[in-house]
Amino acid sequence: MEGLWRSVTGQDPSTEEYSGIEFWSRPERTGWLTKQGEYIKTWRRRWFVLKQGKLLWFKDSNVTSASVPRGVISMGTCQTVKGAEDIVHKPCAFELSGSGNSLEPMYFLADTEKEKEEWINSIGRSIVQNSLALNDSEIVDYDARR
């Protein structure tokens, strides 16, 4: 689980964390979000890209094949995404958290309520599609039992 919130430690993520993902080409969702740091609780505006089960962020929106993400989160390690206005006391806030004690919640602010809901829906879909908890060995084919 180490390195999931890599940008918090001041280190850029390793290229293995996003290799093979053409994040600059046809992402599932992109947009500006404001992200709260884990240790130093400052809010920073970043350009986010969701693609192939990874949520990556950059300093600016001019993302190319030469861009290096400031951070990467694997959706397979996440469990929930939900509104968090009551926790951070800011409008359009949402929280992304991992399973068990593996991840501290991470907080984001969208610019509008509509964008917040769109991000929650997109991230939620990606979590389900990339869940580590539901691997092939756990899928039961009920039709095969007849």
Classify residue 25 by its DSSP letter: S
**Nearest CA-CA partner of 76 in 129, 22, 32, 144:** 129
Check if the beta carbon of residue 10 is closer than 8 Å to that of residue 83. no
Instruction: Answer whether residue 22 is part of any domain.
Output: yes
CATH number at residue 133: 2.30.29.30
pLDDT in tens, 25-56: 999 999 999 999 878 889 999 999 999 999 99
Instruction: Answer whether residue 12 is part of any domain.
Output: no
Instruction: Answer whether residue 6 is part of any domain.
Output: no
Q: What is the total count of domains within the chain?
A: 1
Instruction: Answer whether residue 4 is part of any domain.
Output: no
Spell out the per-residue pLDDT of the chain, length 146, in tens.
Answer: 333 444 333 456 777 778 788 899 999 999 999 999 878 889 999 999 999 999 999 999 999 999 999 999 999 889 999 999 999 999 999 999 987 655 689 999 999 999 999 999 999 999 999 886 555 545 555 555 44
User: What's residue 14's pLDDT?
Assistant: 72
Instruction: Answer whether residue 145 is part of any domain.
Output: no
Instruction: Answer whether residue 2 is part of any domain.
Output: no
Instruction: Answer whether residue 21 is part of any domain.
Output: yes
Residue numbers of the domain that contains 115: 17-137
User: What's residue 33's pLDDT?
Assistant: 98
Instruction: Answer whether residue 80 is part of any domain.
Output: yes
Question: What is the rounded CA–CA span in Å between residue 129 and residue 35?
Answer: 24
